[in-house]
Amino acid sequence: MNLKIIDTHAHYDDNAFDDDRYELLSSILSESVDSIITIGTSIEKSRFSVEITEKFDRVYAAVGIHPEDCENIPDDYIELLKEMSGNKKVVAIGEIGLDYHYDGYNKDIQIKIFREQLELAEELNLPVIIHSRDATQDTMEILREYKPKGVMHCFSGSAETAREIIALGMMISFTGVLTFKNSRRAVEACAAVPMERLMLETDCPYMAPIPHRGKRNNSSYTVHTAEKVAEIKGLTTEEVISICNKNAISFFNLKN
C-alpha cells in the first residue's frame, strides 16, 4: 500500500523502546507511517514526549497527567503543562481521564485532576485525549458538563456509549483491540461511529493487533486496525486510512 497512515496515540517514551526508539521511528516513518502523536502520562513523560518530537518532523506530542499518575504530582503541574504546550509540536492535552481498574485508586484526586486539565485545554484552545477505564459513568458525567473538543481513545465501550460520545460532538479512536477475537462489543461500537468521527491509534507498545497480538506494538501495525474497520464499514482499507488521516489532521490541526 502506498498510502501512509497516521497513528494518533502512541507511547514512544515507554521503556519498551529504550533499545531502538529512534531507529524504529526513522524506519517506520520512512516506510508506512505518515505521522505519530506520542502521548504523555506524567510531567516527566510529557517532557520526554516533547523531546522525541524535536527529532522528527512528523512526530507530535500530547502533554498531560494520566489518571493512574495523578498522585504525587507537583503542585504547579498545570503551570508546567502550560509551559510545555507552548511548543508548537504539542497538539493536545492528554491523556487525561479516569481509571478505576486497579484497587487503591483515588477517585476524588482523579476527578479533580481530570477537571483541572479539561479547563486548561479549554483555556489553551487545545483538544483533549480522554482515557476512561471501568469509569464510564463518571467520565460521561464530566464530559456532558464540559463538552470538550475531545477524542475518547482506545474505545472499548458499548455502541450506546459511542453514540452518546458522538452526540457530544467528540471523536472516537480504536486500537488493535478491535481485531481481537473477543472484540464483538468494540466491533458493534465501531459500526455505530460515523466515519467522519473515527480515528486510528496503536496505544503502543501495548494492544498490538492480530497478527502481532502479545508482541511489542508499533505505529506501523495501525494498518491491521484499519483493515478491520474497512471490513466493519464495507470500505477499502485505503478509503479508511484516507478518511481517518483527514480526521486526525483536522482534529489535531497537524501541519501538512
Q: Which positions touch Zn ion (CB under 5 A)? A: 131, 203
Shortest CB 38 distance to Zn ion, Å: 10
Give 4 or 11: the residue with its C-beta nearer to Zn ion: 11
**Minimum distance, C-beta of residue 47 to Zn ion, in the bound complex (Å):** 17
Question: Based on CB atoms, which residue is closest to Zn ion, 8 or 247?
Answer: 8
- When the beta carbons of 95 and 227 are compared against Zn ion, the nearer one is 95
103-119 burial, b if ≥16 CB within 10 A, otherwise e?
Answer: eebeeeebbebbeebbe
Which residue's Cβ has the minimum distance to Zn ion? 131
Return the number of the residue (193 or 237) whose C-beta is nearest Zn ion. 193
Neighbours of 250 (CB within 10 A): 10
Element (H, E) at 84: helix 77-85
Q: How far is the CB of 5 from Zn ion (least distance, A)?
A: 18
- For Zn ion, which is the closer residue by CB, 56 or 206? 206
Give min distance, CB of 134 to Zn ion, in A.
12
In the complex, minimum distance from the CB of residue 153 to Zn ion, in angstroms, rounded to a whole number:
6
DSSP string, 105-125: --HHHHHHHHHHHHHHHHHHT
135 to 26, 56, 99, 138, 173: CA distances (angstroms): 37, 35, 6, 6, 17
Helix and strand totals (H; E) in the chain? 9, 8
